Amino acid sequence: MHMPLKGLVVLDLTQIFNGPYATYMMAAAGAEIIKIEPHDGEHLRKRTIGKASWLPFAMLNAGKRSLKLDLKSVQGKQILLDLVEKADVLVENFAAGVMERLGLGEKVLKARNPRIIYACSTGYGTNGPYRDYPAMDLTVQAMSGVINATGFTDSPPVKAGPAVCDFMSGVHLYGAIVTALLDRERNGSTPTVEVSMMEATYFSLSSNLGMIHAAVPGAPARTGNRHGALVVCPYNVYPTADGYIAIIINHNEHWRALVTSFGHPELVDDARYKNNADRVKHMQEVDDMVASWTTPHKRADLFERLIAVTVPCAPVRDLHEVMNDPHLHQRGSLRWIEHPEYGRIAAPASPLRYNGEASLPERPSVPLGTDSRAILQERLGLSTQQLDDLESAGVI
């Protein structure tokens, strides 16, 4: 397995999805991740009392070592600073200002180790009027325009099903941290790294923003399953006898293939539908027509038939299908493992592939504090007696 980040040490104070996703990808690339949590665990671990949070916690925390540490105690702070001396990165996604209030702001850490990269992710950034607004995926989806841009034109707005703001932010944070490490390696710089969830989501709305810039008259706030700027047709999700199929026609050859496949070759030269611009003008008509063709057929049959004539399309699959997807399992992107705490789970590899290999840390997520003693012994040389004392004092 190719391990590009091997030898790097990361102090990981992150929680829930955003930060932990960044450090998961670092773990999968070979970095040593020391996940530092308070005595009651980070928020997502606390939620694992409910079974529905088992899988997310296991997905995001594979390959990380667990250190239980009370950062509010004097000794806890001391230990963190001692660890900082030999670490490459410290990353956190607390609300803005929390680290300073703990007395562990960047300046304090840099005084102990000028080479450390300090990285954080917040909802809205470390400055500006919204700095202190509460930021969870749902509130950032609301503020960033994702919710209002999602849903059917004549229905209320609805959030995107995936936690897009959390995960967009997490992967940007990964990219920024690695960039800073490269900068340190090439130029000797140790820039402070910052990613805001709202800013990390902005670009993904570019089609929708484009429609606003173009000031299209009567442009709807959301376009259902149609193109975000209503500039491609057909582009929609169509009903089938047993589900839905997504179809996009980018070129006239696709249009020819589609109409011919449904027995309507005469539509190829029909002036109303000849080019994409014509079809866009008759969007509702075209969509109704395509829906009338797809409705009687089974989703799988349609997919096979249309793919065979190179019409871009895809079945709308549910998450059972995705989790059991033969393609993902064959590529090693998903693997069934027996998790010691959570049972049989589909464990996903890092989406970042090097030399074609899927990288999934061998060690699953561990119970809180599993590695506390080992980490402090190895990295700070603490004795058994010292570790016992720290435990008795409730520091670790």
Catalytic residue ranges: 227
- Min dist CB 303 to its own copies, Å, is 9
Three-state SS for 73? coil
Going from the C-alpha of 116 to that of each of 93, 170, 363, the distances in angstroms are 17, 20, 26
Task: Give the span between the Cα atoms of 177 and 280, in whole angstroms.
Answer: 43
User: Strands 334-339 and 343-348, how do they pair?
Assistant: antiparallel
Rg (CA), the chain: 25
Which is closer to its own copies, CB of 11 or CB of 176?
A: 176
Which is closer to its own copies, CB of 78 or CB of 189?
A: 189
Which is closer to its own copies, CB of 6 or CB of 86?
A: 6
- Min dist CB 316 to its own copies, Å, is 5
Q: Using an 8 Å Cβ cutoff, are 113 and 85 in contact? A: yes
- Min dist CB 229 to its own copies, Å, is 4
Which is closer to its own copies, CB of 245 or CB of 396?
A: 245
Instruction: Look at residues 386, 243, 233 and name the one whose alpha carbon lies nearest to residue 302.
Output: 243
Instruction: Go through the chain and tell me how many residues it has.
Output: 396
Instruction: Look at residues 120, 112, 50 and name the one whose alpha carbon lies nearest to residue 86.
Output: 112
* 287: CB partners within 8 A, 6+ apart: 226, 233, 234, 236, 238
DSSP-assigned letter for residue 3? -
Which is closer to its own copies, CB of 246 or CB of 380?
A: 246
Which is closer to its own copies, CB of 19 or CB of 315?
A: 315
Count CB atoms within 10 A of the CB of residue 327: 9
- Min dist CB 179 to its own copies, Å, is 5
Instruction: Look at residues 176, 208, 191, 174 and name the one whose alpha carbon lies nearest to residue 23.
Output: 174
Q: Using an 8 Å Cβ cutoff, are 70 and 102 in contact? A: no
DSSP-assigned letter for residue 357? B
**Burial, 128: exposed, middle or buried (Cβ in 10 Å; 0-12, 13-18, 19+)?**
exposed
- Min dist CB 373 to its own copies, Å, is 30
- Min dist CB 152 to its own copies, Å, is 6
